[in-house]
Each structure stands twice: as structure tokens, then as C-alpha cells.
Amino acid sequence: MQKYLSENNLKALLDRLIADGKRVVAPRMDAGTPLYGPLANSGGMVMDKLPRRSAKETFFPVCEDIMTYGKEGQKVNLTDIDPSTFPETVLVGVRPCDAAAIPVLDAVFSWDYKDEFFLERRRKTTIVGLACTKADDACFCTAVGLSPADPKGSDLFLTPLEGGGYACETFTEKGEQLINNHTVLFTEPNGSQPLPPAEPQTEKFDLKKVKKWLDEHFEDPAWDSIAVRCVGCGACAFLCPACHCFDIVDEGTEKAGKRRKNWDACGFWKFTHHASGHNPRDLQPKRYRNRIMHKFKYYDDKFGQSLCSGCGRCIRFCPVGIDIAAIVEEISKK
Amino acid sequence: MSRIGVFVCHCGENISRTVDVERVAAEVGKLPGVAFSTDYKYMCSDPGQGLLKKAIREERLSHVVVAACSPRMHEKTFRKAVESAGLNPFLCEMANIREHCSWVHEDRDEATVKAIEIVGMMVERVKKNRVLPTITVPVTKRSLVIGGGIAGIQAALDIADAGHEVVLVEREPSIGGHMAQLSETFPTLDCSQCIMTPKMVDVANHPRIKLYTYAEIEHVEGYIGNFQVTVRRKARSVIEEKCTGCGVCMEKCPVRKIPNTFDRDLGMRPAIYVPFPQAVPNTPVIDRENCTKFKTGKCGVCQKVCGPGAVDYEQEDRLIVEPVGAIVVATGFDLYSIEEKPKGSSIKGYGEFGHGRIPDVIDGMTFERLASASGPTGGKIMRPSDGREPKQIVFIQCVGSRAREKGISYCSKICCMYTAKHTMLYHHKVHDGQAYVFFMDARTPGKSYDEFWRRSIEEEEAVYIRGMVSRLYQKGDKIVVMGSDISVGVQVEIEADMVVLATAVQPRKGADTLAQKLGISYDKYHFYSEAHAKLRPVECATAGIYLAGACQGPKDIPDTVSQASAAAAKVMTLFARDQLEREPIVARVRETGCVGCFYCKKVCPYGAVEEKEIRDRQGNLVKVVAYVNPGVCGGCGTCQATCPSKSVELDGYTDEQIVAMIESL
Amino acid sequence: MTQLIDTSIYTAVTEAIQGEARRILSEGSVSAVVGYAAARRKGSAQPVVITQADDSGKLIFSAACVNNLAVYLTKAKKDIPKNGKIGIVVKGCDLKALVGLMGESQLKREELYLIGVPCAGVLASTILPDTALTSGTIASKCRECGERLPQGCDYTPTVTPPITPVLEKKYAAEIARLEAMTPAERWAYWKEQFKKCIKCYACRQVCPFCFCEQCLCDRNKPQMVETTPRPAGNFAWHIVRAMHLAGRCAGCAECERVCPMDIPLNLLNRKMAKELKELYNHEAGFEVREKGPLAMYDEKDDQSFIK
Amino acid sequence: MHTEKEKHTFEPKIIAFVCTWCTYAGADLAGTSRMQYPANVRVLKFPCTGRIDPVFILKAFQQGADGVLVSGCHPGDCHYIAGNFHARRRFAAFRKLLEFVGVDLGRLQFSWVSAAEGGKWVEMVTGLTEQVRGMGPMQEFKELALEEQWSGSIDTPELQEAYDQI
């Protein structure tokens, strides 16, 4: 289905959704930083900035409670969290790199164990994607086979038009539903041309070749020279739209507390630290190698694609300037 | 899961009057981990302790919380009881629901709720308590005594007589201290030298006393039972082993006009000298500052005349390390010097009394030397200025003491008595003389003390004037003393021939430096601090170090001797065992986490933190970490609060225990 | 009005660093040199460790050389082989951190070969590395920098840093602004900031003083600080971090630069530095000190806050 | 004789961190002297104020304390020679930090209470309790504990500003 949505109608749509009791999540400013977050009304939406963190947290929050415990006398009471209470959500203004990563996460959260926390949020969320018209030199979606106008992962995809407003295209029932529920706001296409898409780094990686090298080079001196500078923080993994490792922690007191699921990162020293004190990934190059391996080999081995959508966040925000695009490019040339 | 037993004490009615103890026991009984909870009339009584022990056995209790009085009162009692029932004593905690609850609150409901929370907090704490083994350290059964005055002499003799070796260190060339300078002593007026010198000789002859005179403490390492003390033996320039004490060197020394400090500069001595004829050891020392040989390189008379060849101009200071298990500090006092203000001191001088400016204004110790039969005047009281016998003499008490505005607010304790003694000595020697005493109060609490003081007035005709001296000045060869007699409210003016000031007793100069070497604390005047003013008056807070005499505070001879013997007794108690047990509240380093920043070492008040190398099996250095010597650690926990990674932990007060308590609230 | 900042000396500085690195590596007086190298994106730089004299040409210095390389010499960073003497390129602010590490027994001066950089300032952010250094893009720390020429290095290129325009002191102004607020307003401010925190620990990992092998905040027996990135745990984490750095922080502001959530972390450190300066006259500097202000005391310390 | 006790709507929770040698003993003395003070305080005993980690103060507030009292030996009286001197610096710095992040320092009190100052202990506890009672509950940390990261709040000042513009 193809429609036209004016900027004002987009705002009206969001306000109507909010009025309907839906949770509308869109890029907004949080204490000076663009982040995806729930809106009280459409006025808070910021469409021209790539949110600092990816859209994954809509389904896979930074931290979520999965169980609570309480002690009553000698008795311990456990209470599960009921995912059915999660709100109906519309996620608006998702960039193609973020949206494309969502099906990647779907695969991982449902292949053997069905993660109800993730899946329930996923079921209840309609994703409205937004094509990019700007790119910087950290962007590399095109290099991993996506594009600034790729609707992958979106239920409804918006493309900014030269004459203002957006061309809307639906890709799923959810997307059609959204239009059908608010037909007055969506008009027929008016022939205005899309704004020229952004032009990120265009040279496409030969991911097959990269994978082949990775298959054969678990041990290689290159890892040291690549990752010697890595300081072991989790910025790359936490900003990444596709990284999905988490840690389960129990927090609280003797009396009461919660079991929580928190984001985790393979760059952390503690990530593979055994209770015995042994750490198989004792040095940072081994940890960084895992990041590359997971993205371009392990995930591919299992699901037949890579775990990177080229958003470039890890490049922009790596404290020590590690550039995954440069690394993959170098590997592909080996 | 722990099986905690909680015992709530009624303390007769002391607790149960305000706190519903049954409710406390019932509520706490519901807490996870509590297997047994009861209340009882008197937990500290025999049946109470019996109840505790029985419950430990029958209920297989793993931890115990006794909710009763302050742990300061009965923690030891209950830990002992727990231990006798087979549990580690440190698995027992007390919840203070008396001093901190029932006694300070009236509202029964509020107090009960508070008691439940206090006990609950201790339940959470005790869950995290660990078995702590008692720490044992070996004891070196040798003692160091610092200071060879009457306090040090008495302590050294007592300890040595009990069969233990003593190292006695004295800064001056001879032992004897201030007591050797005194003429006669109150309240019996026996001659100080007569009772003192035999003790000095005993020290010299004692097979178990190693005497270092003209020596100072350089450095102290170690801890109770295991100190390593470095003693600096200053160069005497006379080889003690060779010297026979014949005294020829002193006779022949061409330099003769050096004021003798022992005689308060009233007499003269040569450059090679013993401070006084009865000195122990009787080995002279060369005063290198005044010796011609040392000043010009010429002379060398003493060496030429010395038969045994004991004079050694090349001698250097020697450092000797002595291992000891206990230290008695008996460094004594100095008299408040009123002619000059000590540098950096907040104490203000008494310029108005003219001491140091008017030659016949002297202090009490100078008067002692004048009155001493072995003193520079042979016991004749005469004026330093012209040698005339003073007919009118004024004694001024509380010079420096009890004068907050001048910086010393304490009472020097001995001045009332020695001034009374001075008036008597004066009256005995100058029959037609008249003594006046300006005083604030007469403080004479001691056996036969008040009688002695009364005697000075009633029999020895001293005139006591209650009031302070406002001004004092020289007029011809007289000293005019102006003051007020506040008992009758009139101004008094006396034309005196001599004025004697009862100056304040102060700690030795450098007392703070020594304290820092020893790691003991001192008060704002630099008197050393005892561990407890009433119950531990001879121990320092630093284990294994004891105090004797005026270094702790002004004291007369009987008190000094008593304390010296008490300190000796404490040393003997320590030496009665081969191994020393101490409370295992000490810090431990978790070496895996330690990064060796040594913040712990920087803040440790005890110097208990050492650097320890961790090596792998091949002997390669892996890292340097902190190590806390459990014998030295005082258990304050400052290291843990400072450690960035919390890699040092104070047993008994671990983060786990404290966080559990906070989280219980 | 934005002013361009003169960074023309960086060409000479780059050449000098290359020459010195080549010399010490070929002489064998150091086993490695930690410095900066150009990276893929235009204008970008990243830390590099070179061990061969032939690689010396890779070394650069530019306004994008933002990192404090001192972090690579700490125990938390086990990946740099620390056998023998190591050469390191330091700006004035980085040197202060190295000096602090020496005072905390983490480094020995004789095991380092310091190549000092006369500095005209670096960028506040390298999200877009190909950015000119101006009064608008310069790092806040450089605005109030008093150490453009590091002191006591083994080698410092003989170029004089250009006179930089006097810039408004942003930290001082921001601290003053916050101090003027009511406690409730300050709380609201920090709450919004800390709420963004995702506990990626970039702040900790780049901090030269966070050299603990096991961070207190990673421990769970007991859990001193909630590890979950929720507002409560975040607040605790940043307070504990600021407290642990009080009196130690050398002011390199790396924590703030690397924070992907733009939390003004260095404000906390600067505030503590300001207080410790006022209370105990302590300031991070070029001289190795045995004890920091919170590892010592004076009997006369201020206690007006104690009843 | 019982005086009629005033009933308050808000009873603050006060957590006290004290050293065992001085303040704990001082509080014992208040007990043996049968002095009266509000029942709001819960006392945690430490060997020395030198052992008190700033994190404990933070924990206490997070745990719901409305006021925190830290008390130890007067300078020079430390049983451990200098623990309280180190503590003094540490807390001088820490309170500045807490103040800077928006904790009202009216809720955090430091004092020296010796073993002889039962009266001063009563004064400190009573004073802080009444002061905190006047300030009301310490909401900040409690609210923080209830907030979840992922939900985001929809009324930040920044958003409010954006909303206001439309």
C-alpha cells in the first residue's frame, strides 16, 4: 500500500495514537542527547538526528525485571513478570540500519528458547521506518548490503519527499492496519519526488570472503594489532542495533529484590570470567575478536547473514577510535 | 541456611518495662534464618547463659544474637558462653536494646518497634559473620624501658627482678633523672640522693639490665611481643668498657668553666665530665661542643692522662637493634621554661616574673640544687647574684599551670607540696628568714600531705597569701613583689631577697617525636595518652607499650613509682605467656584484587601494611601487593574505607556485614 | 563568534615525534612507543603501539589525538607488553595522569620514556574527526588548560605552542551555574543526565586512575553499587566514581569525552578538584607526590561542618 | 511521669554510623543516664570513623534513610590514633559531592561525640530528627529506585520545553 503523509498529519497521527492509549516511541532529546523514547505528544519528536542508541531497546531494554522475590517470614515468594501487560507500541522514525537489525534479533530471540519478553514487545509494536537523506563517514549500511532507503524490518516505511511530507509504503499487515485505522491522515501519493537518499561509504564488503578468512583465522597476529588499543568498555555493543548479549543479575536485599536482565558486552573483562577465577578471554584482543567473529562468522553460521547493519555508531563512539568498517575492509582484502 | 538463635533479655525490668520482649522474640523469630527465638529474665545470669548453651546444642544453632545491654557491657560474656558451647565466639553478636532503646524511650510501642529493627539488623549482620580464629603471636620476653629517671629505674628493676631481660635507654650520660637533682622529698623529708643512688647502683649491677646511657631511640618497628628497636648510642668519646671511672681526665681537663646543667648552671664542670659525682655509669662523656680538642684539634690532655686508654676522639654514634616484646615509656618531664617562649608553641611566657632577667628569680629546681647537700653551694641557700643569704623569700605557685590564657590549663600537681617543702627547707637553713607563698589553692590530697602543708604554715612559719602576683621588679638589690591577698582584699607588696617560681610540669621536649616513632598518641600538651583514663591507666592504646611517670601527666614520686611498678606488672603479665592471643579484628588483603596502590599503607596509623611480592612458580614477579601484619594491625579499618577496590577487609566489620545491616533497615 | 585555533605546530610536532620514536626504537632504548596514528576516516586518529623503528612514520599528532594514552600503561590494561622501558607520547594533561600513577605506585619513572607534546588543544569530540579546531570545537579541558607544554619529559620538540585565544572557562561557569541552583534543581539536573547512562563503563575504562583489576562496582558480595543501568544504580555508580577519583583525577576529561550518552562527567571531577583545592590546597600537577589529599590529614583541617 | 507525646504524621528514618569507642559509648552513657530522645535512630557500630566508607552513607539513603548521622571521637581522641582525621577529610570531600548532585546537606550530619557526652548524643539525634522531620521524607532516592530506564519519562524539562513550543 502506498500513501502520502504530510508532516502535520504525521504529528496528528502520533497524537491520535497517544490519545488512543498507545505508547509512541520516537527519537527525542533526553538531556541533550537524541534517544528513542516514549512521547507525551508529537511535539517531542526529533526527526533529523540519528538516536544515539539503536531502536533495539524498544524490545530489548537496557534493563528489565524478569522476576521479583520477597521473603515473608521463612517463606520466599516469587512473582513472575507478566508480559501481557506490556503496552501496545508504535515505534516511529526508525532508520533503516536500526530497523534492519530487528529481524536479526527476532531470529536470535526465538530460534530455540522463545524469549517472551522480547517477542511480546515485538508482537505489540508497529515499526514506522524512515529513509535517510544524510550520512557521515562512519555510516556504512551500503557496505553490508543495506541502503539508506531499505525498508527491511519496517511495517510502514516513510521516505521524505522533496515537496515536504513523506511517501508511505506498507510492508506488513501491521503497517496496513496503522493506515487503515487512521485513513483520514493518509492521502494518495501526490507525485512529489523522494529526496535523494544519503550516500554512505559505497564500496560493498565481500562478506563471504571475510567469513572465509574468519573461519580460518581464529588465531592470528592481526587480532593483536587490531585490538591492542581496545580498552574493554561496552560502548560499541550497547550502541549497536544488533548486539544482544545480556546478563541476568539478582538485585535487592535479603528481604526483597528482583531478577533482572541487563545488557552485557563481550568487550567486558567480566563477560567470560569464570567463578573459578579463570578467564578464557583473558586479554582484550580475544574479546574484540569475539565481537568480529560473532558479527561476521558465528551469526552467519547459524542464521546465514551478518550481525551488522552498518549504522556506524560503534565507529563514532569508540573511545579509542576502533573502526569496524576499516577492520572488515582490511580482512576482506587479505 | 543459617540457624540463628535469638535471645531477648528482660534485664529484670530494665528492658521489659519499655520493650515488649515477647513481641520482639516473636517478630524476630519470623525472620529468615532464625531457627530459635526466646526471651529470658536475665541472659547474663548463670541460668541465662545455660539457656543459651543448651539451645546452641539442642537447636544446632549456627549463629547467636543476644538482644540485651550494650556489647561494651557483655559482649565478652556471651562470646565466651557461645565458645564454651562449641561455636566460634565471633558468630555471636549483641543487639543493644537497653542503653540504645529501653532506657532512652518511653513510648512502649515505639521502643518495641525499634528493638525489633535493632535485633533484625543484628540478625542480618550475624549471617555474614565468619569464623575468626584467635590470632597468636610469639612473645619476645625482653623489655625496653625508655628513660632512666625514677620511673624507668623502678620499672626496669621490677621487670628484671621478675627474671626478664631489660634494655634501659637514657638520653643523658647518667641515669637518675630529676629525682637525682632533688634535695629532700616530701612528705618525709628524706634525702633524695640517699634513697635514689642505691637504686641506680642496683640498675648498674643487675645481671638482666642492659643499660644504654647517652643513647636515644632512633626507630621502632614491629608490634606487641615483637618490637625491633633501634637505639642510637651517641658518641661518648670514652670507651665504657675500658674506663675505670678514676676521674683523672676530669681533674686535668683545661676547660673548666662550663655551666653544669645538672646544677641548673649554678656550678661549673669541665669538658669531659660526669653530670654529678654519683652518676651511673661513672663513665665521663666529652662535651664535644666545648672541648678544645674537638673545637681546635689541639689539646688531647684527657687522652694522654687516661691510664686505661679509654678516651677515643674518633668514636662515632652507634646504632644497635634490640628485639623486645614490650616497651615502657618513662621519659618524664621538663619544667616550663619561662624566660623564653618555645618555638612554634602556643604557650606564652611569663615575662613579668623576670625569670632569666633578674638573677635572683629562680625556679623550684634551682632551689632544690641550692638546698641540696651535694649541690653547688653545699646546701647553703644563697642568692645567685651575690651569694648573700636571702632573708625574705617569696614563693610563687601556679607559674604556668592552671593558666588557660597562657596555654596550660592543667594543674601540675606537685608544686603545692614542693613549695611547702621549700618553705620548710628554707626555714631549717635560714632560721631568721621569712618565707611568703603566693598561691591560688593548696592542693594536698595524698597520704600525710595535708599535714605536711599545715606544718609549713603552723610550725615553719611560712606566710601563705592567697592571690597571684601582678608585678615583680628589681629595686636596688631587692625584688619588689606586688600582689593581692584576695582573702582579705588588700594589695600586698614584699621586698624580697629571692623569688622562687613553682613552674609548670611539661612533657619532655621532643615527646611528640618519640610518640610518632612508637606509634602512640598524646594529648594537646604532648603528654602521652593512656588507653583508658580510669581502667587502663598504664597501657597505651598501642598494644605492648606502657606508660610510667610524668610523661603521661604531672606526678609526684610515690605516684610515679606506683605507676612504674604497675607498668612492670603489665609487662610481666604479657611475658607470662609464650604466645599472645589477640582479638582477630584485623585487616586482611584479598591479593587477587589488590593492585598495589598502597593507599592502605599511606593511611594506616600503625604502619601495619607491608609490600609483598607475588611470584609465579618460575619465580617471576607477578605483582606487588599489600600485606597487613596481623600483629601490628590495630583494627581501625581506615584501610578498607580508603581502598579503591575494597581489596582489604577488616574482619568483624566487613562490607558484607555492614551492607547487610543497612539493607535490613 | 567562533575563532580558528592555530594548530600549525602539529606538523612539526608530528615530524619530531616520528624522529624521536625512530631513534629510541632503533637504539633499542625502549621496547615500544605508544602514540597516535591516522585511521581510516579523514582526519581521524587512534592510539597505536609500535615496536619497530620502521613504523615510526605512522605516528602523528593532530587535534584529533584526543586520547590520554596513560591508560595503556596501567595494570587494568594488560595487553601492552610491559617488559622494558616504554616510550609514550603525552600532552600536558596526560602527563599529569602519568605523574599521578607514579605517586600511586603504578608506574616507575625510570621505566618510561616521555615524549612531550607542545599542545595547542584538541577536539572536544571525534564523532566527526575531520573538524577544524575552533573556539567552538575545542575540548572544554583545553579552554582552561595551563599545561600546554609538559614539564619533565625526556624529549619535547622545540616548538612553542602558539598563543591561543582566551576562551571562556566552560567548566568553571557550569559548576558555578549548578552551585547556584537549589539542591532539588541540581538533583533534577543530574537525574536527567544519569538516567541516560547505560553502564557501558567507557568512562571507567579510559580513566588512567581506574586501574583496579576488580572494580568495586563489579563486585557482588556485597553489592556495593547496583550494577543494573537503572537511574538508582547509575546515580550510585557516578557518585562512587567521582568519590574514588577525588584528589586523584588529573583532569584529562577522557570520561566525559568518551561518554556515548553525553553525560558531563568531568563536571563532577572538576567540582571535587575545586573543593580539594579550597580545602587542602591540592592540585594535580607535574610533581610526583607520595600522598594525595585524601590519603593524608592535618590536625588543623577544616571541621566547620562537624558539630 | 509521662508527658503527653506529640504525634507526628511523619517519622523520619535516621541511620547513624558511629565509632565504638566514643560515640557508641556516648550513646550508652545517654542510656545509663536515662536521657530521652526520639526513637527514629538506628545505630550501626564501627570500630572507627576511619572505617566508614562514603558508600555506606549512599547506601543508607538508597535504603530509605531520611537522614544520616556520622559521629566519632573528637580530634586527638581517636582510639586508633588518626582514623578520625582521615575520616574528616573523606567526609569533607564527600559531603561536597553529595551537595553537588543535589542532596540537601540538612539530611547529613557529622559530629564528634565523646564517650562522656551522652547529652551531646541526645542533642545530635534529637536535632537531626527534628530537622529532617521539618524537611519531610527524602523522596529523591526513593523515587529513583522506582524508576526504570527503558520506560523513559515523558515529562523531562527538555521535552516539556519542546511541548510548550507547539
Q: B158 pLDDT band (50/70/90 cuts)?
A: very high
B103 shares a domain with B22: yes
Within-domain flag for B294: yes
Q: Which of B592, B596, B647 sits opposite C105 (nearest CB)?
A: B596
Q: Which of B78, B105, B127 represents a domain boundary (last residue)?
A: B127
Compute CA distances A189 → A92, A133, A159, whole Å: 20, 20, 12
Contact of C131 with C183, CB cutoff 8 Å: no
Within-domain flag for A90: yes
- Considering just the CA atoms, what is the radius of gyration of chain C in Å? 20
Within-domain flag for B517: no
Within-domain flag for B513: no
Q: Give the A:D interface size as CB pairs under 8 Å.
A: 47
Residue B145 belongs to domain with CATH number: 3.50.50.60
Q: Which of A150, A185, A220 represents a domain boundary (last residue)?
A: A185
Mutate to test the interface with D, among C227, C239, C261 (most CBs of D within 10 A): C239
Q: D151 pLDDT band (50/70/90 cuts)?
A: very low
Q: What mean pLDDT is predicted for residues B421-443?
A: 94
Given an 8 Å threshold on Cβ–Cβ distance, is A44 in contact with D162?
Answer: yes
Q: What percentage of chain D reaches a pLDDT higher than 90?
A: 70
CA distance to partner chain A, nearest, from residue B583 (Å): 29
B327 shares a domain with B256: no
Within-domain flag for A305: yes
Q: Which of D76, D140, D147 sits opposite C187 (nearest CB)?
A: D140
Chain A residue with CA closest to C211: the answer is: A231
Residues in chain A: 334
Count of alpha carbons within 13 angstroms of residue C71, beta-carbon side: 27
Mutate to test the interface with A, among C41, C189, C197 (most CBs of A within 10 A): C41
B245 shares a domain with B229: no
pLDDT on residue B265: 87
Given an 8 Å threshold on Cβ–Cβ distance, is A35 in contact with C196?
Answer: yes
pLDDT averaged over every residue in chain B? 92
Q: D103 pLDDT band (50/70/90 cuts)?
A: very high
Within-domain flag for A190: no
Least confident segment among A288-302, B102-116, B343-357 = B343-357
Between CA C46 and CA C52, with CA C47 as vertex, the angle to 5 degrees is 120
Q: D159 pLDDT band (50/70/90 cuts)?
A: low
Given an 8 Å threshold on Cβ–Cβ distance, is A253 in contact with B592?
Answer: no
pLDDT on residue D156: 62
Residue A308 has pLDDT above 80, yes or no: yes
A155 shares a domain with A34: yes
Within-domain flag for B523: no
B205 shares a domain with B176: yes
Residue B633 has pLDDT above 60, yes or no: yes
CB contact, 8 Å: A203 with chain C? Answer: no
A neighbours by CB contacts (3+ pairs under 8 Å) = B, C, D
Backbone angle region of B556, left / alpha / beta, with phi > 0 → left and psi within -120 to 50 → alpha: beta
Q: How far apart are CA B281 and CA B318, in angstroms?
A: 18
Q: How far apart are CA D98 and CA B151, in angstroms?
A: 52
Q: What mean pLDDT is predicted for residues B126-140?
A: 92
Domain ranges of chain D: 14-164
Q: D5 pLDDT band (50/70/90 cuts)?
A: low
pLDDT on residue B337: 74
CB contact, 8 Å: C109 with chain B? Answer: no
3-state class of B556 per DSSP?
coil
Mutate to test the interface with B, among C209, C214, C290 (most CBs of B within 10 A): C214
Residue B467 has pLDDT above 60, yes or no: yes
A143 shares a domain with A234: no
pLDDT on residue D152: 53
pLDDT averaged over every residue in chain A? 93
B544 shares a domain with B453: no
B253 shares a domain with B170: no
Cα–chain center distance at B337 = 22
A170 shares a domain with A30: yes
pLDDT on residue D155: 62
Chain C partners of B592 at a C-beta cutoff of 8 Å?
Answer: 213-214
Given an 8 Å threshold on Cβ–Cβ distance, is D162 in contact with A43?
Answer: yes
Q: B339 pLDDT band (50/70/90 cuts)?
A: low
Residue B342 has pLDDT above 60, yes or no: no
Residue D153 has pLDDT above 80, yes or no: no
Within-domain flag for B524: no
Max Cα separation, chain A?
71
A168 shares a domain with A247: no
May I ask the CATH class of domain D14-164?
Answer: alpha beta
The whole domain housing A147 covers: 2-55+83-185
- Sites in chain C below the pLDDT cut of 70: 78-82
Q: Which of C104, C106, C212 sits opposite B645 (nearest CB)?
A: C212
Q: How far apart are the first and last CA of chain A?
A: 45
Given an 8 Å threshold on Cβ–Cβ distance, is B519 in contact with D90?
Answer: no
Q: Give the C:D interface size as CB pairs under 8 Å.
A: 127
B168 shares a domain with B84: no
Given an 8 Å threshold on Cβ–Cβ distance, is D88 in contact with C184?
Answer: no
Residue A141 has pLDDT above 60, yes or no: yes
A323 shares a domain with A268: yes
More confident residue, B521 or A248: A248
B256 shares a domain with B205: no
CB contact, 8 Å: B605 with chain C? Answer: no
User: B66 has which bridge partners?
Assistant: B7, B94
Q: What is the pLDDT of residues A37-58, one digit of tens each?
A: 999 989 889 988 999 999 999 9
The whole domain housing B645 covers: 587-664
Query: Which DSSP string do the residues of B518-529 spell out, in sequence order?
Result: HT--B-TT-PBP
Q: What is the pLDDT of residues B377-417, one digit of tens each?
A: 999 999 999 999 999 999 999 998 998 887 789 999 999 99
Within-domain flag for A60: no
Chain D partners of A42 at a C-beta cutoff of 8 Å?
Answer: 166
pLDDT on residue B345: 60
A221 shares a domain with A175: no
Q: What mean pLDDT is predicted for residues B655-659?
A: 96
Given an 8 Å threshold on Cβ–Cβ distance, is C299 in contact with D76?
Answer: yes
Write the CB contacts of B452 (distance below 8 Å, at least 6 apart in sequence): B186, B187, B417, B420, B421, B444
B364 shares a domain with B393: yes
A169 shares a domain with A219: no
Chain B residue with CA closest to C214: the answer is: B593
More confident residue, D149 or A136: A136
Q: What mean pLDDT is predicted for residues A192-211?
A: 89
CB contact, 8 Å: C294 with chain B? Answer: yes
Angle, helix B21-29 to helix B108-127, in steps of 10 degrees: 40
CA distance to partner chain B, nearest, from residue A286 (Å): 21
CB contact, 8 Å: A33 with chain C? Answer: yes
Mutate to test the interface with B, among D2, D37, D46, D79 (most CBs of B within 10 A): D79
Domain count, chain A: 2
B188 shares a domain with B105: no
pLDDT on residue C117: 95
B301 shares a domain with B346: no
Contact of B325 with B575, CB cutoff 8 Å: yes
C-alpha dihedral, B573 to B579 to B585 to B588, nearest 10°: 150
Least confident segment among A63-77, B91-105, B451-465, B491-505 = A63-77
Residue D2 has pLDDT above 50, yes or no: no
Within-domain flag for B527: no
Within-domain flag for A193: no
Q: D157 pLDDT band (50/70/90 cuts)?
A: low
CA distance to partner chain C, nearest, from residue D133 (Å): 17
User: D18 has which bridge partners?
Assistant: D45, D71
A223 shares a domain with A176: no
Domain count, chain B: 5
Residue D1 has pLDDT above 50, yes or no: no
Residue B644 has pLDDT above 50, yes or no: yes
**ipTM of this predicted complex?**
0.92
**pTM for this entry:** 0.80
Q: Which of B86, B107, B127 represents a domain boundary (last residue)?
A: B127
A229 shares a domain with A171: no
Q: What percentage of chain D reaches a pLDDT higher than 70?
A: 85
A104 shares a domain with A35: yes
Chain B partners of A73 at a C-beta cutoff of 8 Å?
Answer: 30-32
Given an 8 Å threshold on Cβ–Cβ distance, is B663 in contact with A253?
Answer: yes
Within-domain flag for A199: no
Q: What is the pLDDT of residues A96-136, one digit of tens each?
A: 999 999 999 999 999 889 999 999 999 999 999 999 999 99
Least confident segment among B518-522, B524-528, B546-550, C278-282 = B518-522
